[in-house]
């Protein structure tokens, strides 16, 4: 019974397609992994801190700022995914191509998109806050319970 | 829902997200690793198209269709802000008061205004070569104009930047991007394809369509930032309630 199960396991392992190097590493690797994962956890922490601030906010301007903190977590995550040890900026105006490793340009372009969209959405939300303050006389979300005409 | 219940729901949700994050991050590629398949291909494609700034090549050549959507978001957000912050029926416009500015502030701002403008235009024009491009340079150009508000006062800024002109420039930049893509389509290639001569690597006229799209985005972003800030400055300095006597 036991032998057959190992047999099946072995066959399955052999048929599995080749995996990229990072997927072959063990999930728990106590010494190195924690340090290497720090930027990712920093991004997660930023997101959760932003969520906490957003949910407990007593001021809509503060809430818009909290949303910006949430958004900045995606910048940290994207840039951390694209980072390469010893890498320089993916710009070849003063570095000859191939002379040095460069960080991933795709995630940098995505981060640029992210920053632009984040800034414009922040502006739109602040415009809404201005109108709310004018129409309701308050920027405390808890005092904006009921709908008014 | 009272406050304690709300905090509990938030805590449970955040803890759940944290656990999911921790599980996902453990299987991410190692931080600082050298395995970047998309990055390597993007760098090769950018060098093939003679574009020294790979990030610009990704934004304005390899993913230029996505950038079309991104600038549409920018245009939509500006339009939304203009609509939300328009002059309401119960508001009136008062002329802004002249302001007293310290001479050192005035001198510094007036000196740095042309420099900032030049830097902004440089960043837009060299988007295909060095870090920067239409988005970054456009914002620098818009910042340069607003140094006039710091140096003199709001009336001077209003004389320098008629908002309708900049609103038109915003629309022009937005349309130019789309029309460039359609022009390529008419020329027989795919929408927004890079069919222009690629030029010599690491010179101003390189990268084919990238500098043109950069210029269109530069115009749009600069105009969009000016129009956006104008709405907020009008709210703070010009619009007052109709019944109120003072701002």
Task: Tell if the CB–CB gap between A81 and B7 is shorter than 8 Å.
Answer: no
* B14, B22 Cβ separation under 8 angstroms: no
Give domain status of residue B173, yes or no: yes
Task: Tell if the CB–CB gap between B84 and A105 is shorter than 8 Å.
Answer: no
Look up residue B101 and give its two tokens.
Answer: 């500015």
Least confident of A13-17, A93-97, B141-145, B188-192: A13-17
Chain A: give the shortest CA distance to residue B137, in Å: 13
A95 CB near a chain B CB, below 8 Å?
no
Interval B11-65: pLDDT, tens: 999 999 999 998 998 888 888 888 899 999 999 999 999 999 999 999 999 999 9
Interval B92-117: pLDDT, tens: 888 888 888 999 999 999 999 999 99
Across B112-127, b (16+ Cβ under 10 Å) vs e yields bbeebbebbbebbbbb
Number of domains composing chain B:
1
* A139, A132 Cβ separation under 8 angstroms: yes
Bridge partners, A102 (sequence order): A88
Domains of chain A: 35-89+96-137 (1.10.287.3510)
Domain that holds residue B194: 36-241
Give domain status of residue B19, yes or no: no
* A92, A110 Cβ separation under 8 angstroms: no
ipTM, interface predicted TM-score of the complex: 0.88
**Residue-level pLDDT at B2:** 78
Give domain status of residue B26, yes or no: no
Give domain status of residue B175, yes or no: yes
Which residues of chain A are within 8 Å of residue B36 when distances are taken between CB atoms? 82, 84, 103-104
* A136, A148 Cβ separation under 8 angstroms: yes
Return d(Cα B134, Cα B221) in angstroms, integer: 7
Give domain status of residue B8, yes or no: no
Chain B segment 127-186 residues within 8 A of A by beta carbon are 129-131, 135
> Is residue B16 classed exposed, middle or buried when 0-12, 13-18 and 19+ CB atoms within 10 A define those classes?
exposed
Backbone phi, then psi, for B239, in 5-degree steps?
Answer: -90, 125
Q: Mean pLDDT over residues B68-90, rounded?
A: 92
A83 CB near a chain B CB, below 8 Å?
yes
Return d(Cα B220, Cα B239) in angstroms, integer: 26
Interval A1-50: pLDDT, tens: 444 444 555 545 555 556 665 555 555 554 455 568 889 999 999 999 99
Mutation choice for A interface testing from B12, B14, B17, B29 by most A CBs within 10 A: B29
| Average pLDDT along chain B | 91
State percent of chain B over pLDDT 90: 66
**Residue-level pLDDT at A18:** 64
């Amino acid at each position: 019974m036991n032998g057959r199960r190992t047999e099946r396991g072995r066959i399955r392992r052999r048929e599995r397609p080749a995996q990229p190097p990072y997927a072959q590493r063990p999930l728990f690797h106590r010494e190195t992994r924690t340090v290497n994962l720090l930027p990712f956890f920093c991004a997660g922490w930023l997101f959760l801190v932003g969520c906490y601030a957003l949910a407990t906010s007593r001021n809509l301007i503060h809430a818009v700022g909290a949303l910006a903190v949430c958004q900045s977590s995606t910048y940290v995550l994207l840039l951390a995914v694209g980072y390469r040890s010893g890498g320089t900026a993916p710009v070849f105006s003063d570095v000859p191509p191939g002379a040095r490793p460069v960080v991933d340009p795709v995630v940098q372009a995505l981060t640029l998109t992210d920053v632009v969209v984040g800034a414009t959405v922040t502006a739109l939300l602040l415009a809404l806050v201005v109108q709310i303050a004018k129409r309701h006389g308050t920027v405390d979300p808890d005092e904006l319970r009921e709908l008014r005409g | 829902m009272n406050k304690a219940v709300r905090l509990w729901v938030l805590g449970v949700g955040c803890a759940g997200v944290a656990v999911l994050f921790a599980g996902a991050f453990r299987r991410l590629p190692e931080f600082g690793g050298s395995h970047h398949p998309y990055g390597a291909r993007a760098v090769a494609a950018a060098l093939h198209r003679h574009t020294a700034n790979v990030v610009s090549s990704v934004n304005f050549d390899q993913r230029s269709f996505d950038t079309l959507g991104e600038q549409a978001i920018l245009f939509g957000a500006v339009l939304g802000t203009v609509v939300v912050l328009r002059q309401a029926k119960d508001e009136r416009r008062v002329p802004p008061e002249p302001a007293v500015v310290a001479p050192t502030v005035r001198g510094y701002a007036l000196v740095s205004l042309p420099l900032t403008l030049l830097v902004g235009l440089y960043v837009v024009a060299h988007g295909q070569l060095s870090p920067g491009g239409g988005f970054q340079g456009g914002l620098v150009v818009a910042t340069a104009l607003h140094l006039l508000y710091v140096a003199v006062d709001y009336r001077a800024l209003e004389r320098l930047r008629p908002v309708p002109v900049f609103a038109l420039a915003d629309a022009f930049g937005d349309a130019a991007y789309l029309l460039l893509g359609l022009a390529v389509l008419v020329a027989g290639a795919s929408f927004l394809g890079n069919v222009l001569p690629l030029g010599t690597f690491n010179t101003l006229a390189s990268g084919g369509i990238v500098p043109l799209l950069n210029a269109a985005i530069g115009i749009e972003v600069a105009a969009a930032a000016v129009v956006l800030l104008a709405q907020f400055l009008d709210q703070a300095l010009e619009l007052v309630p109709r019944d109120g006597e003072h701002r």
